[in-house]
Structure 1
Amino acid sequence: MVWHKDHDLPEGTDLVVLPGGFSYGDYLRSGAMAAKSPVMRAIAAHAERGGYVLGICNGFQVLTETRLLPGALLRNGGLKFSCKDVPLTIVNGNTPFTRAYRVTRDTEIPIAHGDGRFFADDETLDRLEGEGRVVFRYRDNPNGSLRDIAGIINERGNVMGMMPHPERASDERLGRTGGVGVFQSLMEAA
């Protein structure tokens, strides 16, 4: 476990997960203050060395604020918090985060956010699409994300951000398992 005030990651870190939640209350913009935390320099260096980074919900917002991923996450269309299970299409099943999904092209994972509408300029969106960097797409867009984008990866393929919460759909006891593929994929990759 790493604290936001830490300056280094533990020796031998393979994967950093930036979880959901409302970091610093999201008072300025979602993820904006957390992006300035001392530990983010170490996380950026980890990603630069090829280490895996997964940003879930608020973690995805932090990754866009630090520019480890392109785009921005804006207030949901309709200006309301949304908390529900959503059907997703796995657009790219050939990443370290999605290889376990190769057989299944669709899954269902819950969302819980008020600022989850993915936005980027047309050039960036075209580049993400053309380079196969859109990983998850909403089947029934719950928040107005451009091109129904629910998750993306960086150019190198070792940093992924997604608004849905795979940890909330990772065990039969939770009543859903649609997110377990993210964790199975990472265990195989790391």
Structure 2
Amino acid sequence: MRPRVCVLYADGTNCDRETYYAFEKAGGAPELVHVNQLRSGERKLADYQILVIPGGFSYGDDVLAGKVLAVELTSFLADQLQAFVEAGKPVLGICNGFQVLVRTGLLPDARMGEIKVTLMTNDSGRFECRWVYLRVEESRCIFTRGLAGQLLYLQAAHGEGKFYTSPRVLEAIEAGNQVVFRYATPSGEPTGAYPYNPNGSLGAIAGICDPSGRILGLMPHPERFVEVTQHPNWRRPEVKSLLKEPHGLAIFRNAVAYAREM
């Protein structure tokens, strides 16, 4: 079975086709679905096994990054979204999609309307586009099964990626093992130092999941490294010898495998 994947996009989304390709390569059956198709009833979220909100600049990020799409989801599609989550189906938000998930309340606690964390303007005050190292933490996240302790190399490209919250909420996220990715040095040590941490995120946090591990949001782009040739230095022999598999592919493969088990 090839699980059906809803690649949800809106005006301004620009990473939908790359995300489509990543899920297709991982064994899924992705479909590009505009948010208006869900609102009109032309498509039903219940017909899909995986939901992904890809990166880009939905609605131009005119208010806050991801805010308008988050409001649209919680205002017009709340019942469909809630039913999807309660059915235990995986949800993935990449970059702008992560921003959407925190502004719906689906992260960190899968409670729509309860906004506890945010993604702020980068400490550098500018858009950061660079490849970064991510340490995969021990967690219940279904997207990173078998990856804990590994160091991934992925591209980050965002202007509002600084993970920020109150000390109390941060403590709860850490205690609940909901941190999935941390920005790290090339040796694998979590860091707040620029440029390895491109935005100044608290706790070097680059991605989190909900308590169930089925909802994941991360700022770097795994869909931009599902082919070896997408690595910036793939031609160098020392790099090619280390790349048994592109670092982003396992995240999509794990989602597809989980959906098949349901």
State the TM-score, normalizing by the size of structure 2: 0.68
1: CA distance, partners of 2:175 / 2:135: 17
How far off is 1:156 after superposition? 1.6
Letter aligned with residue 221 of structure 2: H
1:126 is aligned to 171
Q: Secondary structure at the match of 2:66?
A: coil
2:138 is aligned to 92
1:115 is aligned to 160
Runs of 5+ consecutive residues of structure 1 not aligned to the other structure = none
Matched positions, count: 189
Residues 41 and 61 of structure 1: CA distance in aligned 2, closer, same or farther (over 3 Å): farther
2: CA distance, partners of 1:20 / 1:78: 21
2:247 is aligned to 178
Structure number with the higher helix fraction is 2
Q: Secondary structure at the match of 2:143?
A: coil
Question: In the alignment, is the contact (CA less than 8 A) between 1:44 and 1:68 conserved in 2?
Answer: no
How far off is 1:15 after superposition? 0.6
Q: Deviations over 1:131-181 (max 9, x none)?
A: 110000001311000000000001121111000000001112323722112
1:3 is aligned to 34
Q: Deviations over 1:38-85 (max 9, x none)?
A: 345523331122111000000000001100013100000011100111
State the TM-score, normalizing by the size of structure 1: 0.92
1: CA distance, partners of 2:139 / 2:254: 10
1:68 is aligned to 106
How far off is 1:95 after superposition? 2.2
Structure having the higher Rg:
2
2: CA distance, partners of 1:130 / 1:187: 28
1: CA distance, partners of 2:69 / 2:200: 24
1:29 is aligned to 64
Runs of 5+ consecutive residues of structure 2 not aligned to the other structure = 1-31, 109-116, 185-195, 235-245
Letter aligned with residue 34 of structure 1: L
How far off is 1:93 after superposition? 5.6
Letter aligned with residue 133 of structure 2: P
Q: Percent identity?
A: 38
How far off is 1:184 after superposition? 1.7
Question: In the alignment, is the contact (CA less than 8 A) between 1:73 and 1:117 conserved in 2?
Answer: yes
Q: Deviations over 1:26-49 (max 9, x none)?
A: 000011100122345523331122
Q: Secondary structure at the match of 1:170?
A: coil
